[in-house]
């Protein structure tokens, strides 16, 4: 504040127009450094815990995450912070009030609350409307742990800005080691590909979620930049130094929500206003964002191993109780009741007021305040928050245990388990790996991309009243809901247990091990390695990079199935389509669905598989014949009868898909194919069925004659059925002649 005022005074003092620009630049520099802290990550990675508490208040080595971010901002010279809270806004605001952040000199913290923001874009638009940002600002999320100095990055940013007013953002990146097998960094984030100009550090390309095998850079990039570095070894710290234009860009593009996926991509791809983004790489400092459980684990370990100094447990940076560092990275609060026979291993933090029973072993873990750990308990790689009770003989491995959880005796937590607030696990229960247990039932999965991380506070979730005494009023129905749920839940986590095990849907289960606190099991690693090996092959087979025409031709000879692959794809598509049509038809049979509805469904299938009408008629006919086949048919004549009934019944449906002769021929061809391959039973009664189709006016004689003439030039083997139908065709021919 002081600095700002002196700046103002000077600005006022400098009068002349010649000096005006200089002064304004100077004044720009004198504006107190501001920061926007997003206390909502607009994601669901920390469900179910974040149903009850906002992510930024979750304890990281016994200190709420947001305190790390604020402490860093303060030490880095930020003078004004706007904390944007959305989900559980009240809890965040309350936390800020109770902390000493409001009382710091030269550091003002303002909370901005909103109830309806669904993404970072909304947040920034709201802040833009409030008109509080006056100059360059730091944009971070409330789950950032860092000890970097902003001075250098800020200096670079301002320097660039002076030369080029389009340089509106500087992104902080750092070196990371991506595992080639899991394709993700140690923070559990997806692999990131960036292209950066090595001279100017301008960011040219950013891709963090893609299944494509290649990175594709626009050709124009290379004409502007003679050299481009493509990085797979860098990590985005999600610390951005922005100019006010960033806010106005968000305001102008109201569809922008995600900072990276929308804003960054929009700027890079669409070249909005010619704005440019630059990067600043930090070398020795620490910066990481806690995006998921795995990064929670990684960052916790980094803190314990003091990479984040001075933000470490034994330095009192925000009034955490005095903790002392022992040998081997062991931190112990002053008041710990530890049995003599209990063993506390290296890299472990024990909070104050915690008691540990005899023969218990704790290693590589964080235990919060006021926990009661019984005897013969083994805890390895776990994060146990506050006031947790663990009874005798439990075994915990790589789990997160939230406040107030009670784990009854003999319970085993397999790796990757998350127990949300106040869950009770019944005696001897084994919680399966990667399961998440909460007092709340799993909400119905929404497919929406912009899912809110936290349940809206207005829905009045029951809250852990003991801890922070949340003001949310309980609604009556929720109480009932809970008591009901408690009854149901009892069975899910053992006798006497309380809580629901959240089921993971098929798709996300695959990701479960990626983002879990548990280390990736070796079996999984091997598996991925296998697939990645294969993928490598696939990637290269697809080639994507035939440098010249000759090569392409050649690659056909090299992997002779290169082109066939395409065919296979199409065929597969058709097969899928056929299966779906068959299923639809079966359902129609069973549930007596009206023809119109079937038509509607088949049409939508056709559109989604991008196929022609002829394919529909073929597939539909196929399904009909199949269904006729599936009905009991002791003799071929019964089969014909079955077919006749089906065809008669669904004639209208089939007819709908036979607008012209071509489709009718397609049906005959399809039938022929069936007789040869999938339904050989029909081969004996081919002519009869053909006749039937003719009788029922499904296939006109013209189609049959065309089919016959088409087949004339074919191989003898292909003519099998034409020969069978010879008489019939002859008859048709004669009949048509007579008509003439």
Partner 1 sequence: MDFQVVVLAGGFSKTLVPLVSKEVPKALLPVANRPVLSYVLELLEQNNLKDLIVVVESESAALLIGGWISSAYVDRLHVEVAAVPEEIGTAGALRAIDHHLTASDILVVSGDLVCDVPPGVVAATHRRHDAVVTAMLCSNPVSGSTESGSSGVKDKAKKRYNIIGLDPTKQFLLHVAAGVEVEKDVRVQKSILRAVGQMDIRADLMDAHMYAFKRSVLQEVLNQKEAFQSLRRDVLPYLVRSQLRSELLLNGVQSEENGNDKDASQNPKIVLSQLLANASTPSFHELHALGPNGFSLSPRKTHKCCVYIASNSNYCVRLNTIQAFSDINRDVIGDASHLSGYSFSAQNNIIDPSAVLGSKTTVGPQCMLGEGSQMGDKCSVKKSVIGRHCRIGSNVKIVNSIVMNHVTIGDGCSIQGSVVCSNVQLLERVVLKDCQVGAGFVVTAGSEHKGESLAKKEK
Residues that bind partner 1 (CB under 8 A): 178-181, 183, 191, 193, 195, 198, 212-219, 221-223, 225-233, 525-526, 529-530, 533, 535-537, 539-540, 543-545, 547-551, 553-554, 557-558
Q: What is the rounded CA–CA span in Å between residue 688 and residue 669?
A: 15
Looking at beta carbons only, is 118 or 525 nearer to partner 1? 525
Q: How far is CA 31 from the centre of its chain?
A: 38
626 HSE (CA, 13 A, CB side)? 20
3-class secondary structure, 470: coil
Q: What is the rounded CA–CA span in Å between residue 389 and residue 384?
A: 10
Of 391, 388, 350, 345, nearest to 367 by C-alpha is 350
Looking at beta carbons only, is 532 or 700 nearer to partner 1? 532
- 597: its two tokens: 């509805």
3-class secondary structure, 191: coil
Q: How many residues can be counted in the chain?
A: 740
Of 325, 350, 322, 326, nearest to 338 by C-alpha is 350
123's enclosing H/E stretch is: helix 120-130
Cross-strand partners of 109: 81
Query: CB of 383 within 8 A of CB of 300?
Result: yes
3-class secondary structure, 605: helix
Q: What is the rounded CA–CA span in Å between residue 272 and residue 276?
A: 9
- Closest approach of partner 1 to the CB of residue 433, in Å: 22
- 402: its two tokens: 């939230």
Strand ranges for 480-558 from DSSP E: 500-502
Name, in order, each residue with C-beta under 8 angstroms of 71's C-beta and a sequence gap of 6 or more. Answer: 311, 317, 318
Looking at beta carbons only, is 156 or 191 nearer to partner 1? 191
Query: CB of 358 within 8 A of CB of 375?
Result: yes
Strand ranges for 51-201 from DSSP E: 59-60, 63-64, 80-85, 108-113, 137-141, 144-146, 167-175, 193-196
Q: What is the rounded CA–CA span in Å between residue 335 and residue 494?
A: 33
Q: What is the rounded CA–CA span in Å between residue 121 and residue 445?
A: 23
- Closest approach of partner 1 to the CB of residue 210, in Å: 9
Residue 495 sits at φ, ψ, to 5 deg, of -70, 135
- 599: its two tokens: 């038509």
DSSP conformation letters of 422-450: T-EE-TT-EEPTT-EEESSPPPPPP--TT
Name, in order, each residue with C-beta under 8 angstroms of 29's C-beta and a sequence gap of 6 or more. Answer: 7, 158
In angstroms, how far apart are the furthest CA atoms of the chain?
A: 111
Name, in order, each residue with C-beta under 8 angstroms of 163's C-beta and a sequence gap of 6 or more. Answer: none
Looking at beta carbons only, is 350 or 528 nearer to partner 1? 528
587's enclosing H/E stretch is: helix 562-591
3-class secondary structure, 689: helix
267 HSE (CA, 13 A, CB side)? 26
């Amino acid at each position: 504040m002081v600095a700002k005022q002196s700046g103002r005074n000077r600005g006022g003092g400098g009068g002349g127009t010649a000096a005006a620009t200089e002064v304004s630049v100077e004044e720009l520099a004198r504006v107190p450094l501001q920061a926007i802290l997003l206390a909502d990550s607009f994601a669901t990675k920390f469900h179910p815990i974040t149903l009850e508490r906002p992510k930024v208040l979750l304890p990281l080595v016994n200190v709420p995450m947001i305190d790390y971010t604020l402490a860093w901002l303060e030490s880095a010279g930020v003078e004004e912070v706007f904390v944007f809270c959305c989900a559980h806004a009240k809890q965040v605001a309350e936390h800020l009030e109770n902390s000493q952040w409001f009382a710091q000199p030269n550091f003002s913290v303002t909370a901005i609350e909103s109830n309806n923001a669904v993404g970072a874009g909304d947040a920034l638009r709201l802040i833009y409307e409030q008109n509080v940002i006056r100059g360059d600002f730091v944009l971070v999320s409330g789950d950032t742990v860092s000890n970097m100095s902003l001075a250098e990055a800020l200096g670079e940013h301002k320097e660039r800005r002076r030369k080029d007013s389009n340089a509106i953002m500087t992104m902080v990146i750092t070196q990371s080691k991506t595992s080639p097998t899991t394709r993700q960094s140690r923070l559990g984030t997806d692999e990131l590909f960036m292209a950066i100009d090595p001279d100017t550090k301008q960011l040219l390309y950013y891709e963090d979620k893609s299944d494509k095998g290649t990175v594709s850079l626009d050709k124009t990039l290379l004409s502007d930049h003679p050299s481009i570095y493509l990085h797979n070894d860098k990590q985005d710290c999600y610390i951005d130094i922005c100019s006010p234009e960033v806010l106005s860009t968000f305001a102008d593009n109201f569809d922008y929500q995600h900072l990276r996926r929308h804003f960054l991509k929009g700027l890079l791809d669409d070249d909005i206003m010619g704005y440019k983004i630059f990067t600043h790489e930090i070398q020795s400092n620490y910066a990481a964002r806690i995006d998921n459980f795995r990064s929670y684990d990684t960052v916790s370990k980094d803190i314990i191993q003091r990479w984040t100094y001075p933000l470490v447990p034994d330095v009192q940076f925000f009034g955490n109780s005095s903790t002392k560092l022992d040998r081997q990275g062991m931190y112990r609060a002053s008041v710990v009741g530890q049995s003599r026979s209990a063993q506390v291993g290296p890299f472990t933090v024990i909070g104050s007021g915690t008691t540990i029973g005899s023969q218990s072993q704790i290693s590589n873990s964080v235990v919060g305040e006021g926990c009661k750990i019984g005897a013969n308990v083994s805890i390895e790689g776990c994060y146990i928050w506050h006031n947790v009770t663990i009874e005798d003989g439990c075994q915990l491995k790589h789990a997160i245990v939230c406040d107030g959880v009670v784990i009854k005796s003999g319970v085993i937590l397999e790796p990757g388990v998350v127990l949300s607030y106040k869950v009770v696990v019944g005696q001897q229960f084994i919680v399966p790996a990667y399961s998440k247990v909460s007092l709340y039932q799993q909400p119905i999965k929404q497919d929406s991309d912009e899912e809110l991380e936290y349940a809206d506070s207005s829905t009045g979730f029951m809250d852990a009243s003991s801890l922070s005494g949340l003001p949310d009023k309980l609604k009556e129905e929720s109480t009932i809901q809970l008591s009901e749920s408690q009854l149901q839940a009892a069975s899910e986590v053992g006798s006497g247990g309380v809580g629901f095990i959240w089921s993971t849907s098929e798709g996300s289960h695959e990701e479960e091990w990626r983002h879990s606190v548990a280390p990736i099991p070796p079996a999984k690693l091997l598996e991925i390695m296998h697939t990645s090996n294969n993928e490598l092959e696939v990637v290269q087979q697809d080639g994507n990079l035939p440098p010249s025409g000759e090569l392409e031709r050649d690659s056909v000879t090299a992997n002779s199935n290169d082109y066939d692959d395409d065919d296979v794809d199409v065929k597969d598509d058709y097969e899928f389509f056929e299966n779906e049509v068959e299923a639809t038809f079966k359902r129609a049979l069973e549930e007596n669905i009206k023809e119109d509805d079937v038509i509607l469904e088949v049409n939508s299938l056709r559109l989604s598989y991008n196929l022609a009408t002829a394919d529909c008629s073929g597939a539909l006919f196929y399904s009909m014949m199949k269904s006729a086949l599936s009905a009991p048919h002791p003799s071929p004549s019964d089969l014909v009868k079955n077919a006749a009934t089906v065809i008669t019944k669904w004639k209208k449906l089939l007819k709908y898909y036979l607008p012209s002769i071509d489709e009718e021929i397609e049906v005959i061809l399809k039938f022929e194919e069936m007789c040869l391959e999938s339904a050989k039973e029909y081969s004996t009664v081919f002519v009869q069925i053909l006749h039937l189709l003719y009788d029922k006016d499904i296939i006109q004689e013209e189609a049959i004659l065309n089919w016959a003439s088409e087949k004339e030039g074919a191989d003898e083997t292909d003519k099998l059925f034409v020969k069978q139908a010879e008489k019939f065709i002859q008859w048709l021919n004669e009949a048509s002649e007579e008509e003439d």
